[in-house]
Amino acid sequence: DIEECRPLQHLSELDVMDEFKHGVDGIVVWGGKEAVEAYRKDLPAQTKCIVFGPKLSVAVVTEEGLERVGVETAARQLSEEISIWDQNACTAPQICYVEGEKNARNLAENLALAMKEKAIVLPAGPAGVDTAVEIQKLRGVSEVEEARGLGMVLSSCGNVDWTVIVKNSPQIEPSPLHRTISIVPVNK
């Protein structure tokens, strides 16, 4: 009911978490025992709770944000987040949702340039054999999708130092890391 809605400025952190818990099908929780217990408390029975599951960070780029900071600046900032610790930090995005297909492709092209520049000043660490295989497999599948007009692949030549993939599927799939990101266009 609309009458039951409370203004955001009157909501406590616990109120926000309660609203969150009742609006999702599942949550993934990391942290100490107290953090896990706090998320499990009052969790609806139908909501799945995955404790210490796969870590997946996403970035969201709005059309307004791109207009405000510019696509080159957004690409440089995103490349920095992806390149630090080769995406092994839990805050490093693996997926970037971008408002509008044209904006997504423009950001991807600028991100590829920024990743190329970043690889010079902050070279990627060595990729393990399993990681390199996963990246090559992802690139191969993405190249087929690109040939079908369903995406785009931009990557470092001769190595697996960085990969930028534009894909039209909003499905969340963890990347093999090592500076590999999916750019997903979304509608307003």
Q: What are 64's strand-pairing partners?
A: none
Q: Decide: helix, strand or coil at residue 142.
A: helix
Indicate the pLDDT class of residue 54, thresholds 50, 70 and 90: low
Burial bucket for residue 157 (CB in 10 Å: 0-12, 13-18, 19+): exposed
Query: φ and ψ at 85, to 5 degrees?
Result: 55, 25
Q: What is the pLDDT of residue 2?
A: 39
Q: Tell me what the mean pLDDT of segment 74-99 comes to.
A: 93
Q: How far apart are CA 162 and CA 177, in angstroms?
A: 9
**CB neighbour burial string for 100-115, b if at least 16 within 10 angstroms, e if fewer:** beebbbbbbbbbbebb
What average pLDDT does the chain have? 88
Q: Tell me what the mean pLDDT of segment 33-62 comes to.
A: 84
CA distances in angstroms from 185 to 84, 115, 133, 166, listed in the order given = 24, 20, 26, 8
pLDDT at 99 over 70: yes
Say if CB 74 and CB 63 are below 8 A apart. Answer: no
CA atoms 149, 151, 154, 159: torsion sign: negative
Query: φ and ψ at 181, to 5 degrees?
Result: -135, 145
Q: Tell me what the mean pLDDT of segment 104-122 comes to.
A: 97
Indicate the pLDDT class of residue 13, thresholds 50, 70 and 90: low
Distance of CA 2 to the CA centre of its chain: 33
Amino acid at 64: E
Q: Tell me what the mean pLDDT of segment 14-25 comes to.
A: 79
Q: What are 98's strand-pairing partners?
A: 61, 185
Q: Decide: helix, strand or coil at residue 161.
A: coil
pLDDT digits (tens, 9 = 90+) for 115-161: 999 999 999 999 999 999 999 999 999 999 999 999 999 999 999 99
CA distances in angstroms from 62 to 68, 76, 82, 141, 166, listed in the order given = 10, 16, 18, 27, 16
Indicate the pLDDT class of residue 9, thresholds 50, 70 and 90: low
